[in-house]
């Protein structure tokens, strides 16, 4: 790209160009001296007649607008935004405080080898900046976290620079006219789909730290299903590697929930919750976004034990029928009261077992949760039963053991101890909502982990 200015040029009769700091898709950044204050500044220039796409100007103006509202010690201060008109050209300029120091990319290229302590301090500062940006209304997402855009001063102070991709869905970084934002090798998988979330910046931080630690671009590492395999190249503690691995999770929902949570775990103030991946072969239909979670449990079908229970249920119903059939014949017997009581108990057991088996064959369970409300619905042959409430009233999610009444009755009849059933459970004040009893243990474990992560609630096993 042809440069707009050369050293010694004076812009707007105030800023004298000293040297070139870098070039990107939204303009060229120069180091300059403010002739009024005699301070060094960073001035980013964009020429209208050299633009290949008008969208670049929109990004440039958006960058200036966002920076003018930011106030954080890790972000160079916004100073000015202006235009300069000439007979054959129209240029736009953004002026910021100069971030003193060198980019992480430059430091690594010159042979800097960071220790784990250095990287932890670096990560803590960047996460503090990201936490500030993501908590704004609306959240500000940088979208191009990479070694080139993080400047480190000699005393260790970190600055995040170049907000040219902020809140954008366009940047000519990879190919001309691309609708993808970011830089290859440091981009989260969702950015290839034109999407970005606060956790997108966390992925960029992870790839940046990986480059600083190994002096290798993240794209050079082997990967499987988009997951970077870096552990064999990282000579640091397994604790730090676990933390870094969570930053680099391909799926947004598997990363930290926020920069604040990532910082808390890094400092040892929080717990790193292990990621439970979707079990292979599960038929649970599960979708989760930042705003909504839906889980549909499949029909279970009959196992060998269900066949036994079905036979037991039918025998119980036949027995109860005979009990009631012989009732007139034993009306004057001193033990008359035992027959209807036994018939009722046996028929209740049979009906309960039969209902369970029919539900396994034909029933459906669906859990829906958004940020305001939740609904748990059981349906069978057009009939349904559901519970619902406010999401904020859910205290916790847990795997809980309980004994179903029909199992307790049957065990007592046989003189045995009833076996508990494990269920996924939502605890809402004094109400307890159990579901998914028939799923496998690994499916229950995975499902409760996902729900707890979505709700940002504690997970318990009881």
- Distance between CA 60 and CA 385 in Å, rounded? 55
- Extract the tokens encoding 312: 């037991």
Catalytic residue among 53, 80, 128, 144: 144
Mark whether 49 is an active-site residue. Answer: no
Question: What does the angle CA 31 – CA 43 – CA 195 come to, to the nearest 5 degrees?
Answer: 115
Whether residue 138 is preceded by a cis peptide bond, meaning omega within 30 degrees of 0, is yes
Sign of dihedral through CA atoms 353, 355, 356, 357?
Answer: positive
What is d(CA 49, CA 278) in angstroms, rounded to the nearest whole number?
52
149: buried, middle or exposed (CB in 10 Å: 19+, 13-18, 0-12)? buried
Round to whole Å and give the CA distance between 403 and 426: 17
Which structure tokens are listed for 131? 């936490």
The answer to whether residues 323 and 342 touch, using CB atoms and an 8 Å cutoff, is: yes
Residue 156 in tokens: 């260790």
Contacts of residue 215, Cβ cutoff 8 Å, sequence gap at least 6 = 108, 113
Within 13 Å, how many C-alpha atoms sit on residue 173's CB side? Answer: 21
Which of 305, 298, 303 is CA-nearest to residue 283? 298
What radius of gyration, in Å, describes the C-alpha atoms of the chain? 32
* Long-range contacts of residues 80-83, Cβ cutoff 8 Å, at least 24 apart: 82/12
Q: How many residues does the chain have?
A: 462
Catalytic (active-site) positions:
144
């Amino acid at each position: 790209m042809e440069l707009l200015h050369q050293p010694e040029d004076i812009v707007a009769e105030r800023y004298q160009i000293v040297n070139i700091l870098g070039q990107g898709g939204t303009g060229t950044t120069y180091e300059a001296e403010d002739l009024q204050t005699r301070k060094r500044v960073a001035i980013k220039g964009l020429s209208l007649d050299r633009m290949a796409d008008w969208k670049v100007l929109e990004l440039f103006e958006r960058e200036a607008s966002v920076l003018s509202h930011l106030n954080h010690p890790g972000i160079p201060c916004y100073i000015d935004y202006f235009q300069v008109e000439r007979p054959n050209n129209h240029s736009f300029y953004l002026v910021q405080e100069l971030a003193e120091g060198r980019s992480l990319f430059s430091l690594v290229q010159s042979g800097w080898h960071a220790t784990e302590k250095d990287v932890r301090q670096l990560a803590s500062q960047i996460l503090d900046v990201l936490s500030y940006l993501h908590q704004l209304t609306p959240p500000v997402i940088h979208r191009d976290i990479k070694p080139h855009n993080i400047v480190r001063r000699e005393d260790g102070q970190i600055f995040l620079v170049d907000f040219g991709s902020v809140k954008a869905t366009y940047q000519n970084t990879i190919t001309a006219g691309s609708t993808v934002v970011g830089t290859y090798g440091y981009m989260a998988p969702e950015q290839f789909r034109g999407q970005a979330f606060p956790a997108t910046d966390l992925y960029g931080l992870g790839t940046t730290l990986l480059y600083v630690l190994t002096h290798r671009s993240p794209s050079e590492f082997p990967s499987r299903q988009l997951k970077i395999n870096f552990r064999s190249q990282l000579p640091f503690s397994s604790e730090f590697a676990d933390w870094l691995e969570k930053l680099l999770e391909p799926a947004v929902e598997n990363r930290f929930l926020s920069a604040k949570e990532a910082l808390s775990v890094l400092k040892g103030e929080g717990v790193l919750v292990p990621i439970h991946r979707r079990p292979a072969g599960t038929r649970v239909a599960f979708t989760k976004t930042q705003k909504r979670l839906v889980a549909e449990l499949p029909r279970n079908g009959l196992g060998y034990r269900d066949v036994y229970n079905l036979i037991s249920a039918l025998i119980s119903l036949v027995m109860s029928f005979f009990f009631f059939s012989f009732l007139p014949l034993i009306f004057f017997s001193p033990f008359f009261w035992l027959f209807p009581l036994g018939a009722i108990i046996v028929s209740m057991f049979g009906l309960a077992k039969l209902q369970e088996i029919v539900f396994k064959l034909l029933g459906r369970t669906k859990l829906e949760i958004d940020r305001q409300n939740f609904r748990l619905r059981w349906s069978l042959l057009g009939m349904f039963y559901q519970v619902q409430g406010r999401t904020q009233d859910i205290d916790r999610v847990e795997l809980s053991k309980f004994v179903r009444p029909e199992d307790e009755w049957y065990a007592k009849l046989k003189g045995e101890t009833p076996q508990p059933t494990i269920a996924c459970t939502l605890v809402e004040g004094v109400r307890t909502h159990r579901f998914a009893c028939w799923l496998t243990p690994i499916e229950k474990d995975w499902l409760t982990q996902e729900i707890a992560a979505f709700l940002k609630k504690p997970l318990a096993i009881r």
